[in-house]
Amino acid sequence: MTTRDAFLAKVRQAQPPARPRPDVPLFNPAGGDLRGRFTTALQAMGGTCVDAAAAADVSAMIRERFGDAASIASATAEVQGTRTLTADTEPASLQDVDVGVVRARFGVAETGSVWFSEREYVVNALGYIVQHLVVLLDPAQLIDGLQDVYRRDDFRAARYAALVTGPSATADIEGVLIRGAQGVRSLTVVWLPD
């Protein structure tokens, strides 16, 4: 047994017994225009929303915004990338990708967040290492608030999950807002039905 295996075995033995997740209360839903609320919240965090009638429109939008020479890694069958992305792709190999394309499972109107698991990203680094993230979102897949996330079966079944709200940003140095400080420089949500 290697040192690593021995260490991991000790960690596993020291784990507390499993217990059920606590019930999350369901607060009064704000309801209303979920798409409008989502868009307002996302824009407040530096993201943008655009409409697309078809996947071809997304490809055209990417070329228009980021140029014909942009390298694209797509985790969707709907939008063709210039780089192949499979579960075996080395995360570090994405370090020079300009645009990542991924379909969110759902969006949260309260915060303008989109939800991903290992299934949507294919390679988890896709959401953090590329320069620009383009997110396909079916407007029918919007939920009201964060408390609704915990009630979803896909949330409970995911091994890895992330709620992403806008591009990476920081304002901790002299209160100056910097976008793309530790992750993607831009996040664009494209309204595109499944």
Return the structure tokens found at 147. 């408390």
- Strand-pair partners of 50: 190
Q: What is the pTM of this model?
A: 0.85
| Domain 33-80+100-191: CATH architecture, name and number where available | 3-Layer(aba) Sandwich (3.40)
CA angle 85, 90, 96 (to 5 degrees): 75
pLDDT tens-digit map of 142-185: 999 998 998 899 988 998 899 999 888 887 777 787 777 778 99
Strands 132-137 vs 186-191: parallel, antiparallel or unpaired: parallel
Q: What pLDDT score was predicted for residue 183? A: 83
pLDDT tens-digit map of 62-118: 999 999 999 999 999 999 999 999 999 999 999 999 999 999 999 999 999 999 998
Task: Return the domain boundaries, the chain.
Answer: 33-80+100-191
Q: What pLDDT score was predicted for residue 42? A: 96
